[in-house]
Amino acid sequence: MNGKGIVSVICVVGMLLTAVLGGGCATQAQTGAATGAGAGALIGGLANMHGSWGATALLGAGIGAGIGYLVGNEADKKDAAKRQAATEAEMRPLAGTTWQVISITPKPEKRHKSIVSHFRKDGTVVTTKTDMNGHVEKVTESYRIVGSTLILSKPEYVENTKFRIEGDKLIIDYGNGNVVMQRVG
């Protein structure tokens, strides 16, 4: 096979890789890596028509996969941030309410004088914990509600809990325990 024939084969393989691998990927990072690998193999093969065409195609595939993954991963992060932003409907019925913990089961190792959570209308909940020595700690998380599930999140975690409101009580079920809160104000 001459140099032009080899380049044609590389072009076909690159296009097939891009179409087949990119089409079934779950994330934009995976799609970007697959598309980048196909495009990189194509460009690598075309860039070196003389000499070791396989090595340049392979090098191009590796570089393309890396760049494609990075670009797709950033797009995935942006999509995740958009999904974490709660709509007005996803904040009801907690938006604008404040609750104080009256019991935690099982009892936590660290006891607090008080724990108060304020669910703001901007999709954040600010929890103020006052320990027995008077030290105050504030934690801010994003929240949203889907059905009977309260979703709390920060960049490093997402926590799903079941919840229900019974009169002036908010009961949050963590699966291995629960928290009962009293409405404040």
Number of folded domains in the chain?
2
How many alpha carbons fall within 13 Å on the CB side of residue 81?
7
Write out pLDDT tens, residues 79-105: 555 555 567 777 789 999 999 999 999
Of 27, 61, 84, which residue is a domain's last?
84
151 shares a domain with 108: yes
How, if at all, do strands 149-154 and 157-166 pair? antiparallel
96 shares a domain with 80: no
Of 84, 118, 138, which residue is a domain's last?
84
The enclosing domain of 96 has a CATH number of 2.40.128.50
Domain of 77 in residue numbering reads as: 3-84
Write out pLDDT tens, residues 95-139: 999 999 999 999 888 889 999 999 999 999 999 999 999 999 999
Of 84, 111, 130, which residue is a domain's last?
84
Write out pLDDT tens, residues 34-83: 676 666 666 666 666 556 656 666 666 677 767 766 676 666 556 555 55
71 shares a domain with 9: yes
Over the Cα atoms of the chain, what is R_g?
27
**Cα separation of the two ends of the chain:** 82
